[in-house]
Amino acid sequence: MMDKIDNYSINTGDKRSPLKNIIEQIIAQRIWSKEILLKKGDFLKMEDTIDTNLYLVEEGSLRFYISDDHEEKTIRFGYGGDLVAALDSFITSSKSPLNIQSIRKTKLKLIRKSDFTDLILKNQKLKNAWEQILGILLLECMEREIDILTKSPLERYKRVLARSPRLFQEIQHKYIASYLNMTPETLSRISKS
Amino acid sequence: MMDKIDNYSINTGDKRSPLKNIIEQIIAQRIWSKEILLKKGDFLKMEDTIDTNLYLVEEGSLRFYISDDHEEKTIRFGYGGDLVAALDSFITSSKSPLNIQSIRKTKLKLIRKSDFTDLILKNQKLKNAWEQILGILLLECMEREIDILTKSPLERYKRVLARSPRLFQEIQHKYIASYLNMTPETLSRISKS
Give mean pLDDT, residues A5-34. 76
* Residue in B with minimal Cα distance to A152: B69
Nearest CA in chain A to B12: A92
> Cβ distance B32 to B116 under 8 Å?
no
The reply to whether residue A91 touches residue B10, judged by beta carbons under 8 angstroms, is yes
Q: Per-residue pLDDT tens for B4-29?
A: 443 343 444 445 699 999 999 999 99
Amino acid identity at B103: I
Tell if the CB–CB gap between B134 and A139 is shorter than 8 Å.
no
All structural domains of chain B: 5-192 (2.60.120.10)
Per-residue DSSP letters for B69-130?
TTEEEEEEEEETT-EEE-HHHHHHSS-BS-EEEESS-EEEEEE-HHHHHHHHHT-HHHHHHH
Closest alpha carbon within chain A to B142? A141
For chain A, report the end-to-end CA distance as a whole number of angstroms. 30
B58-89 pLDDT per residue, tens:
999 999 999 999 999 999 999 999 999 999 99
Instruction: Report the alpha-carbon distance of residue B33 to residue B30 in Å, rounded.
Output: 8
Other C-beta atoms closer than 10 Å to the C-beta of A183 total: 13
Q: Which among B69, B88, B149 is the nearest to A68, CB-wise? A: B149
Task: Output phi, psi for A159, to 5 deg.
Answer: -60, -50
- Look at the alpha carbons of A13, A83, A25, A92 in this order and tell me if their dihedral is positive or negative: positive
**Number of A–B residue contacts, CB under 8 Å:** 94
Q: Which residues in chain B have Cβ-Cβ distances shorter than 8 Å to A64?
A: none
Half-sphere exposure of B63 (CA within 13 A, CB side): 22
ipTM for this prediction? 0.92
pTM listed for this prediction: 0.92
Percent of chain A past pLDDT 70, that is, above it, reads 92
DSSP A29-62: TT---EEEEE-TT-EEE-TTB----EEEEEESEE
> Cα separation of B16 and B4, whole Å?
14
pLDDT at residue B134 greater than cutoff 60? yes
Distance CA A152, CA B73 (A): 14
Chain-chain contact of B144 with A149 (C-beta, under 8 angstroms)? no
Query: Model confidence over A46-102: pLDDT tens digits?
Result: 999 999 999 999 999 999 999 999 999 999 999 999 999 999 999 999 999 999 999
Best to test chain A binding among B74, B132, B138 (most A CBs inside 10 Å): B138
Average pLDDT score over chain B: 92
Cα(B7)–Cα(A179) distance, integer angstroms: 29
- Give the Cα separation of A110 and A94 in Å (integer): 18
CB contact under 8 A, A151 and B88: no
Q: Residue B149: which of A10, A73, A137 has the nearest Cβ?
A: A73
